[in-house]
């Protein structure tokens, strides 16, 4: 039951983008087209799952026994950066198609605050390994959902000829994202 | 826990983690290395490495890739010229006819003593800023070189100097990367074949009388050069003489006949 609670919570109620406001940079930057948004979503899901796994291991098996919890930010950044680089190399070798699809998004994720945040949240909530990974994946799926939804809306908005000149581009995107965020508030009552 | 371990533990654990990841990544980069065409790094080494963007690619790396993939010709690098094109050709195993070396050429001869000033300019020492002032700069001629050195600042090869109020290109150093051409707000700089020395050193499209009023060495569009030339290589259009470098034989007739000596010839200073 706790697993289910975590999934719904981090995917919808505490959606990383629309209610925690993490990863906004890539959320706005890579949401012009649905297929690139899709690729970014996939890449984030992939990295977040692995990052929550690795950061849990590093935190609970290295930092906690040595009483070095205060070094978690440093350690997590180290883990995530190395992990993303490693994954990039492996994918480039084993699956060039996927590598091309993910493209520049993989290295971009290295510095995405959402990935660091998921590791920190796992730590603060004292999740066990399984819960951490589930939290990572569902948070990433929440990101995936948000970015794909926004890109779909943006594709329609960009074709709208009646758009006032002053609102074209980022202004209307920010308004859209704000409205989406308000809409996601509706999920707040889901788990009470 | 002792004092020492509270210092050592963080250093060792994080250092160890870093070392571990470093080794892992190092191993992975070997293990998962993808075969790039070995010619790409070789061509990259042959290129000058200035990353000036003169070839139209973002830098030398991109240019090398394009050359090896056949998207760009081996003499794509304007900076390296014939020498680099030859080296690249050897790597690729193709013969390259070297492109003609081009140089940048400033089409203005109006040094401080030869041209008048409209007003005293005390603003930012940059041609682009000065062009914003009424009359497009303090020089009497609105087409002429302001001599504030916007081209000097962008030149990565130290090939342009301001001498006596106008920009002068050192043709030995110039690599024809085209940065100064883009930087000049007056569109005064052209890339011309280095071997062709007969060039019109003026850009003014004003009528002869007006040119006379502010510059001793401007083109007054008197048409003498056009009449003199036996090869049809120099023509006056829009009140300015223009040389067709493919036809010019450098016979020097026009250079000698030009009343204002605005056509530079072989004997001209660099």
Helix (H) or strand (E) holding B46: helix B39-46
Average pLDDT over residues B50-56: 77
pLDDT value at residue B270 = 38
The CB density around residue A5, as the number of other CB atoms within 10 Å, is 12
pLDDT value at residue A145 = 93
Give the pLDDT band of residue B154 (cuts 50, 70, 90). confident
pLDDT of B121 higher than 80: yes
pLDDT value at residue A42 = 83
- Whole-prediction pTM: 0.54
Q: Give me the percent of chain B exceeding a pLDDT of 70.
A: 95
Distances (CA, A) of A186 to A141, A190, B167, B174, B178: 18, 8, 67, 66, 58
Give the pLDDT band of residue B269 (cuts 50, 70, 90). very low
- Flag residues of chain A having pLDDT under 70: 101-104, 192
Nearest to B28 among A62, A63, A89 (CB): A89
Give the bridge partners for B190, in sequence order.
B105
Chain B partners within 8 Å of A92 (Cβ): 32, 34
Which residues are CB-neighbours of A24 under 8 A, at least 6 positions away? Answer: A17
Q: Which residues of A touch B (CB under 8 A)?
A: 58, 62-63, 66-68, 71, 74-75, 78-79, 82, 85-86, 89-90, 92-94
Nearest to A74 among B14, B29, B34 (CB): B14
Mean pLDDT of chain B: 84
Residue A68 near residue B13, CB atoms below 8 Å: yes
pLDDT of B75 higher than 80: no
B28 has a chain A CB within 8 A of its CB: yes
Distance from CA of B25 to the nearest CA of A (A): 6
pLDDT, one tens digit per residue, over A53-89 is 999 999 999 888 888 888 889 899 888 888 888 888 8
Report the range out of B73-77, B82-86, B87-91 with the highest average pLDDT.
B87-91
pLDDT, one tens digit per residue, over B168-213 is 998 888 888 888 888 898 888 988 888 888 899 998 888 888 888 8
Residue B220 near residue B259, CB atoms below 8 Å: yes
Interface contact A78-B9, CB threshold 8 A: no
Query: How many beta-carbon pairs below 8 A join chains A and B?
Result: 45
CA-to-CA distance for B248 and B103, rounded, in angstroms? Answer: 17
B10 has a chain A CB within 8 A of its CB: yes
Distance from CA of A22 to the nearest CA of B (A): 27
B266 has a chain A CB within 8 A of its CB: no
CA-to-CA distance for A8 and B128, rounded, in angstroms? Answer: 58
Distance from CA of A42 to the nearest CA of B (A): 22
pLDDT, one tens digit per residue, over B15-38 is 998 999 999 888 888 887 777 778
Determine the residue among B1, B2, B3, B14 to mutate to test chain A binding: the one whose Cβ has the most chain A Cβ atoms within 10 Å. B14
DSSP state for residue A95 in the 8-state scheme:
-
pLDDT of B267 higher than 60: no
pLDDT, one tens digit per residue, over A64-73 is 888 888 888 9
Chain A partners within 8 Å of B22 (Cβ): 82
């Amino acid at each position: 039951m706790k697993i289910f609670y975590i999934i719904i919570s981090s995917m919808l109620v505490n959606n990383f983008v629309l209610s925690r406001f993490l990863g906004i940079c890539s959320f706005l930057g890579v949401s012009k087209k649905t297929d690139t948004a899709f690729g970014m979503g996939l890449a984030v899901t992939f990295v977040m799952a692995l990052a929550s796994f690795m950061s849990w291991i590093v935190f609970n098996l290295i930092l906690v026994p040595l009483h070095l919890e205060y070094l978690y930010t440093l350690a997590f950044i180290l883990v995530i950066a190395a992990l993303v680089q490693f994954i990039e190399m492996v994918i480039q070798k084993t699956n060039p198609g996927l590598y091309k699809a993910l493209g520049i998004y993989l290295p971009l994720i290295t510095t995405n605050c959402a990935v660091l945040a998921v590791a920190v949240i796992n730590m603060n909530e004292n999740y066990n390994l399984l819960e951490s990974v589930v939290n990572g994946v569902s948070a990433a799926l929440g990101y995936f959902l948000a970015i794909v939804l926004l890109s779909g809306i943006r594709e329609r908005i960009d074709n709208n000829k009646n758009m006032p000149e002053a609102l074209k581009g980022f202004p209307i995107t920010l308004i859209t994202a704000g409205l989406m965020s308000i809409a996601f508030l509706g999920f707040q009552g889901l788990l009470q | 826990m002792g004092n020492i371990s509270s210092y050592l533990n963080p250093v060792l654990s994080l250092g160890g983690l870093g070392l571990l990841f470093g080794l892992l990544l190092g191993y992975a980069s070997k293990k998962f290395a993808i075969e790039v065409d070995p010619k790409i790094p070789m061509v990259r080494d042959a290129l000058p490495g200035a990353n000036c963007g003169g070839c139209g690619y973002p830098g030398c790396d991109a240019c090398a890739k394009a050359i090896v993939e056949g998207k760009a010709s081996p003499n794509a690098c304007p900076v390296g010229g014939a020498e680099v094109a030859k080296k690249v050709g050897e790597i690729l195993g193709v013969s390259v006819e070297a492109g003609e070396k081009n140089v940048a050429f400033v089409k203005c001869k109006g040094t401080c003593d030869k041209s008048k000033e409209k007003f005293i300019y005390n603003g930012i020492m940059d041609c682009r800023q000065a062009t914003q002032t009424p009359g497009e700069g303090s020089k009497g001629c609105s087409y002429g070189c302001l001599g504030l050195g916007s081209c000097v600042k962008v030149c990565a090869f130290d090939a342009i100097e301001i001498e006596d109020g106008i920009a002068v290109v050192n043709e030995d150093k110039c690599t024809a990367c085209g940065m100064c051409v883009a930087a000049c707000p007056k569109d005064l700089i052209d890339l011309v074949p280095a071997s062709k020395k007969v060039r019109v050193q003026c850009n003014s499209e004003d009528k002869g009388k007006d040119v006379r009023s502010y510059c001793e060495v401007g083109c007054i569009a008197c048409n003498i050069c056009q009449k003199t030339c036996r090869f049809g290589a120099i023509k006056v259009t829009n009140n300015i003489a223009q040389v067709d470098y493919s036809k010019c034989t450098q016979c020097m007739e026009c250079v000698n006949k030009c009343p204002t000596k605005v056509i530079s010839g072989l004997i001209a200073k660099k």
